[in-house]
Structure 1
């Protein structure tokens, strides 16, 4: 994207230089040497060189001084030439007008009326007709607008590429975050299961093997005692089976972890892997909710965090969860970019549908100064949303 501005700036530089060099060539070739020719040459050289002391592609970018000096030196030479009768109809200020439009800033907006008035000012001191002044003035204004349009196109292209790069970086960050969360979850579950297997079943299986070895030894010497040991081994095996079933049962009960525990885990992971400041506020008595209710609330929080970082470029997020006797309220505020025209894309539509399917309400609005707030309210009264014990 820098290459576009590089090419356009140097193109403008070359076009302006060509314009003044061409004027110098006409002055040198069209007249015999005189003091007037010498003054014109010095004048044109000053108009060519001095403005470049303040704006030069990729090096100096003081556009305000460049435009002011361009009008002072080049504009005054244009007006002087325009007033001379032998130059009527052959003098223009089109290329400088184009460049002024291309480099225009808010501080130099005053140059547009100056370009419009300059040809009419020449009528006071020369033989310039109304029609010629009007034509030259409209041409200057037209070329300045062309310069503004060219700069707008270049800036739009630059902003588009910059935005695409930022989105790509954010997507990579979020993808890395999701992959890391998944990896950490798998590692955590693997570690938990290995501890369960070691602590709960390791001792039982060692006892089982030792008892079997003893029973094998007693088979020939004392069959009755061997039989008694085998009966005890069978009981131990049943106990081990019950413990295995208990582990599996507990794995299935992971869904019954309270909402606050899930949220705290989500907040800690998002904070660790994105560097975002997240403040969590809890109010009311926590309760265990039905699995699909928890999932809907967690997905709204996840999507809001992702949107705040990806679209709003937020650095701080305020998450509030408020438990009331019959409702659960959720508030997610961020300090990101102000909310523009709201378009319910796939993410927002999914969030809204999730909450409305639970009989709740979903809204998103801009904060007073900057940032966005997502608000949800879900009814909890009755057996439809509370988890079954």
Structure 2
């Protein structure tokens, strides 16, 4: 109840003050004229206190409870006092004003006649000295003033709602702008890395190869000059790539989340508090962005759907995982509905071997938890690596990059798949970093042979292009992960550690394409089976909702159909499947593959 009072606006305090003034005045007047009372003074005072407090408490719960208690308790008190003192009938004027101010929807249909016509009629019966039409005019005017005050309240609430929604939209647009800029930076970085950087490296390596063919001193000097220019240019390109990093990538995760929470609090006028537990350790760019996107989506949902006023964010750096919890004090939901943003959050976490869970209940707010496993360096477990790529400078670059990590050891390199298979037999590496497009034997064939002969050797496909068709074949052949060559060194190192521990990781863009392809394959199979049983799309949809445990009424609401229409569709599906009830229909649909569990 205290939380409700904290959310009051100026009009709530005006109505409470008016009730308080009227009640105190009534108590003082009763004490002054106690000789004319029929009941005991303390009984009347207790009645007056109850008539003040009970309707006020009911108003905090539901306006309909308030209307009934106000008319019965305060109206009954005024009728009793008017029967004793005919001049006491104006004491109900403030209640008439408050009843009109707190009525809503169809309640006006009965509160207006009760206050304007019925109550004055009862006053006239118990005290004929007062003019009925005079009292009707009085109470009618008070009710009209209360209705005008109600319109003022509604207008203020709508303006406040619009203001909050605009603030949330502005914050959301700001987030979208930052996301767009970050994605564009990443895209340009990859393009420059894969085109300009590749071209410069190839030119430098080509000129180095020409050194032995130059005979004159002048030619050698010119070659040295060109090599120096090429190396200087590629260093400049690397500098540009570093400058294009998002500002969020250059600061710690705690600072990024704190900045995001402060900005949201400033724009949306919602209290956001952040607490961090444990010693912060370095995370990959993918992990940082996953936590940032998770917090952005959770903050927006808390205000837009949950109407929260306070959000608590907890970030815990554990030995095994990093956990982000976002808890709001919103209204919660009976049944959680996952939208595009939540699905994107879960996909990001899944790509990093993590998970996102949501707990929500009406009155308890919503708790969103994002947990990602910690990719720590294993100094006591040296990972033996084999690099397979047909480009010499790429093999050498990867060796230099990976040798910086104490737990990674490059034990060999191969220029094609055939040589990779031979080296796996001799060196028995823990992880093979495999390119795809190579002469003699490509990466797909080599992966299949390696996994057949040495299943314990982990194979990480390190490629340039996103080919979903090829990726599915490689998964079937036993590949343990996919990563693009444009990935940062820290991401590559973390991925190698994850693959070595038995995990699987697929690049986000590639996994999205793979899932789309799998969805199309499953839909095609389901469509063929549905055609065999002559089931319609709507009947299959209802069977899928049955499998989730939803009832007829819930399904009707979800599909915007009547309860009877849903039952008709269900009955038609029962007949086509040859079953008698919902349980048998779900079981049969699972068995034949129309729906999946």
When normalised by structure 2's length, the TM-score is: 0.33
Q: Tell me which of the two structures has the higher relative contact order, counting C-alpha pairs closer than 8 angstroms and 6 or more residues apart.
A: 1
